[in-house]
Structure 1
Amino acid sequence: METDRLLLATAADPKALYTWRAIREEASTIWSMAWKISVATFCRLSVFTISTAFLGQLGTKELAASALAQSIIGGLRIVTWAFATSMSTLCGQAYGAKNYELVGIWLQMGLVVLVVISIPLVVAHFYAYLILQYVTSDVELLEMAQTFANYTALSVFPNAVYVAFRSYLRAQEIVTPTAVIDTANVFLSIGANYVFIYGWGSWSGFGFIGSPLASFFSATAQPIALFLYAFVFGQYHKKTWFGWSWQCVEATRLKQFVSLTSTFLVYLALDEWIYNVIAIVTAQLGSLNLAANSVLCNIWGLAYGVYMGFSTPIQVRVSHALGANDPVKAKHVMAVGFGLGAIATLVVMFAILVTRYSLVTVFTQDAALQEILVAMLPIFCVAAGISGFHVMLSSVLEAMSLALTLVFVSGVGSWAALLPASYYLGIQLNFGLAGLWWGSVIGEGVKFCITSTALFWLYDWAKIAQRISDEANGDEEVEDIEKEAQEAFVTVDTLKSPVAAVTNVSF
């Protein structure tokens, strides 16, 4: 176990958590997880870039077909993301409550449900053409895209198993195994893509379908390697694994798991798909602006790896504190984690701004496109920076199991603010791509403000911690999580300043 220190009960002296020593210790713990998760996330994102690069060497048609297929099947990945979020939250809460057997049961339930849900996901891959046929009239391109989707379906099951293992380990602050394996997978993907596409020796390879086959090979190797590393040799599971139990299909817990996951799925869909819609709106501005927007989204994806590096430890450690019924410690983790994450976000945005002239040359040699990107990056950094702040705080809501709150935040911020603002500024007022991204600044700002308000002023952390601790210990029957959470709203006369809300100290 990388860190297994008991969360200290500090309600009697909350100010003690804000001494330099306490802040330094918490920051050190978060950082020890953050850099490894950032590396792992960056490596996973790099695998997609590697596949794209190899396909680009085959030809424009092959690259376009894979991109077309990914535009549909990529959206299905949010299903496994939702399960990962639920597992991290529930396993973390149980671990904080010292209900170690329940941690293992959540893993079992996650594996069972993910295996079942993988079946319709696989089937959906084989019918991608039903949507793709409305995107392009090129029959050959459509057939190639569907072929790519068919072979990509092979990776659904191993990816699901890997997500379950990774979430289970992260919830216990065990991140080294996944960091090592995700890093090694980059090199494995390079080799697999080369061999499966171009062959080896006298064998000429599979060509176009070699790319999804290489992805399947890498995806299968990941859960096997993680199982051997963390479970067989590392024995990291011994504390929380009590053997298979029928409790993994127990109705009450299953309802809690599926309900939370379903709501997280809606939240992730609202949060992720908004920029797909913005991309469609960008198409009205011409191919050059569409290409520029695509590059900006790729840069955002790289920055998101840093965000994940800090938001995940925040989620895990806040869930531990809440499971231990220690709301004071939970606020302390949020304050320190947000501070670190905010600094990291600002550093990344500053680095992008300083290196923007050389950065754009990595993505394109087109002078006109470079000019657009250089002009857009300052606005982009404002939007991406605010988004980073929001991601840090939203991880706290995830730890609280307040998925419906996240749905509200994303629904209002993304669809009621960002989309209309982007369309109005970019299309109606003819501000072009800059207008679209200023709309993103507005939308991300709204999400950050709502999330901050909910955490600092609206919710009673003590009641939330009590509810989560009771559920993790099985002291009460699990009901609708978000319905119970409504009892945690504070009244107007008990509102505190943001600083007091965080530190639990009245001024």
Structure 2
Amino acid sequence: MGVSSDTVEKSDLQRPLVDPTNSDPKPPKDVGLESVLTDSSLSCRRRVYLGACIELKVLFRLALPAILVYLVNSGMSISARIFSGHLGGQELAAASLGNSCFFLVYGLMLGMGSAVETLCGQAYGAQRFDMLGTYLQRATIVLALVGLPMTVLYTFSYPILLMLGEPKSVSYKASLYIAGLLPQIFAYAVNFTAQKFLQAQSVVIPSAYISGAALLLQILLTWFAVNVMGMGLIGIACVLTVSWWVMVVAQTLYITCNERFKHTWTGLSSRSFQGLWSFFKLSVGSAVMICLEMWYSQILVLLAGLLEEPALSLDCLSICMAVSALSFMVSVGFNAAASIRTSNELGAGNPKSALFSTWTATFVSFMISVGEALVLMASRDYISYIFTSDADVAKAVSDLCPYLAVTVILNGIQPVLSGVAVGCGWQTFVAYVNVGCYYVVGIPIGCVLGFTFNLQAKGIWTGMIGGTLMQTLILLYVTYRTDWDKEVEKAKKRLDMWDDKKDAVQN
């Protein structure tokens, strides 16, 4: 099994990279990225050109299926809400409330699963293939153990919702909906770790196919459960859970029964029970990093309900958040690609390739986000009519579109740099950055501008921009100042420690 298309072979360094008689040379398919970037016989411009030809092909091959996976996963939750809305207003409110509550464990599991990206990606780059299966099992055990107290917590969702002041009838229906989702917690534990295990090996297209098939199955089964069997809200929740478990079973079978992974999956091992505490600590840093980002926008939406015209502000911000989330999915795909490429190259001992991959992914995502922002500004007077026919809401959205465009551009950079952080194992550091930028700077600024200076929704959104901008600048500076040779050494030490079964993880 090869590491990647960029793996450096000794023969690459001995053969000429360019035919001197060719006026428009193209990089040979068997030339590694590191060998191109370190070839002093080429000019800087030519090295960048040849490196870009190699890297862009790999980048888009990883990013596009990842974008589809995240869009489909979001689509499953959205489709459940659509079916609930056809049952009635209270059912829609209950499903929305239940999904919002379940967003906590979704973010927690997704964040903890991202630790697998760091370890599996670096192990794969270092060709320590047997360690990937151990990391997968260890991560699944840790996430399943974390899922136990979360299951107990959600079992008492009804009294908790009542304590939070939610209406009794909606809380009761939401608690029934949540009860149908409880087995989904453990589906997250397996699905996210298996997904990261595959991504670390640059295997992303099968996950896209599996997710797409699960979405179609969910829509068909939900229609049958609601319209034929009359199961109502609990049927919608149970079908959503079944769909997640279908993805889990499909990915598990794909990994365990495929000869492609005979070196990275060697079966169940007792080694997976060693070092659980160390893996938990690394996972917590990842979870905090992801959750703080996810909760940030949700808190700002809650603040909008306290403004002078809460209905208009909530409608306006909800539409803008939906548009922002859609564009964010593109950046999340490049986040996954950047994480894979960075961790693989660090594990392979290729510092220049890791550096080049980082800035290539950031630049491409940034250019795409600029294009999205221009389209948004050109359609600012019409985009809200996709969601509503209210003229006042349309005008409010149009006024907020310049702020939204800035957010879209920042979201083209920040998630990619977060992916680089995961690839390098900087999760704990980024978690501290998120706390400071979002909750010490962004939310207070939003409150002051929105309430004290009476800028309403624009003030709250300006606070969000301020926090995201500060975080982006810090990550840009840290990435720019990174000593990639030292990161290669850190990756090697991390893998050595885990390979020796020591209960320590270096970040």
Q: How far apart are 1:289 and its partner, in Å?
A: 0.6
Task: Establish whether residue 113 from structure 1 lines up as the match of residue 137 from structure 2.
Answer: no
Distance 1:2 1:326, change over 3 A: closer
Distance 1:137 1:91, change over 3 A: closer
Task: Please name the residue that 2:300 is paired with.
Answer: 278
Task: Please name the residue that 1:486 is paired with.
Answer: none
Task: Establish whether residue 243 from structure 1 lines up as the match of residue 267 from structure 2.
Answer: yes
TM-score by length of 2: 0.89
Task: Please name the residue that 2:180 is paired with.
Answer: 151
CA distance in 2 between partners of 1:310 and 1:170 (Å)? 12
1:99 is aligned, of 122, 128, 138, to: 128
In the alignment, is the contact (CA less than 8 A) between 2:368 and 2:412 conserved in 1?
no
In the alignment, is the contact (CA less than 8 A) between 1:17 and 1:23 conserved in 2?
no
Q: How far apart are 1:424 and its partner, in Å?
A: 1.2
CA distance in 2 between partners of 1:137 and 1:398 (Å)? 37
CA distance in 2 between partners of 1:374 and 1:297 (Å)? 13
In the alignment, is the contact (CA less than 8 A) between 1:17 and 1:332 conserved in 2?
no
Task: Please name the residue that 2:469 is paired with.
Answer: 445
Distance 1:468 1:43, change over 3 A: same
One-letter code aligned to 2:288: V
> How do 1:285-434 and structure 2 match up within 5 A?
285=307, 286-434=310-458
Task: Please name the residue that 1:183 is paired with.
Answer: 212
Task: Please name the residue that 2:485 is paired with.
Answer: 462
In the alignment, is the contact (CA less than 8 A) between 1:317 and 1:330 conserved in 2?
yes
Task: Please name the residue that 2:16 is paired with.
Answer: none
In the alignment, is the contact (CA less than 8 A) between 2:183 and 2:241 conserved in 1?
yes
CA RMSD of superposed structures (Å): 2.1
> How do 1:112-261 and structure 2 match up within 5 A?
112-199=141-228, 204-232=229-257, 234-251=258-275, 254-261=276-283
Where 1:481 maps in the other structure, the secondary structure is coil
Task: Please name the residue that 2:4 is paired with.
Answer: 4
Distance 1:105 1:137, change over 3 A: closer
CA distance in 1 between partners of 2:369 and 2:160 (Å)? 37
CA distance in 2 between partners of 1:180 and 1:412 (Å)? 39
CA distance in 2 between partners of 1:371 and 1:235 (Å)? 57
Identity %: 22
CA distance in 2 between partners of 1:277 and 1:175 (Å)? 32
Distance 1:367 1:101, change over 3 A: same
In the alignment, is the contact (CA less than 8 A) between 1:68 and 1:132 conserved in 2?
no
Where 2:141 maps in the other structure, the secondary structure is helix
Distance 1:262 1:237, change over 3 A: same
* Residue segments in structure 1 that go unaligned for 5+ positions in a row: 483-507
One-letter code aligned to 1:181: I
Where 1:468 maps in the other structure, the secondary structure is helix
Per-residue displacement from partner, 1:320-372 (whole Å, max 9, x unpaired)?
A: 11112222111011011111111222222223333344432221122222221
One-letter code aligned to 1:328: K
In the alignment, is the contact (CA less than 8 A) between 1:231 and 1:237 conserved in 2?
yes
Q: How far apart are 1:262 and its partner, in Å?
A: 0.8
CA distance in 2 between partners of 1:134 and 1:268 (Å)? 27
Task: Please name the residue that 1:488 is paired with.
Answer: none
In the alignment, is the contact (CA less than 8 A) between 1:177 and 1:230 conserved in 2?
no
Q: Which moved more, 1:123-132 or 1:395-404?
A: 123-132
CA distance in 2 between partners of 1:289 and 1:413 (Å)? 24
In the alignment, is the contact (CA less than 8 A) between 2:118 and 2:425 conserved in 1?
yes
Task: Establish whether residue 262 from structure 1 lines up as the match of residue 284 from structure 2.
Answer: yes
Q: Which moved more, 1:411-420 or 1:157-166?
A: 157-166
CA distance in 1 between partners of 2:317 and 2:248 (Å)? 34
Q: How far apart are 1:130 and its partner, in Å?
A: 4.0
Task: Establish whether residue 80 from structure 1 lines up as the match of residue 109 from structure 2.
Answer: yes
In the alignment, is the contact (CA less than 8 A) between 2:81 and 2:92 conserved in 1?
yes
CA distance in 2 between partners of 1:354 and 1:157 (Å)? 44
Where 2:412 maps in the other structure, the secondary structure is helix
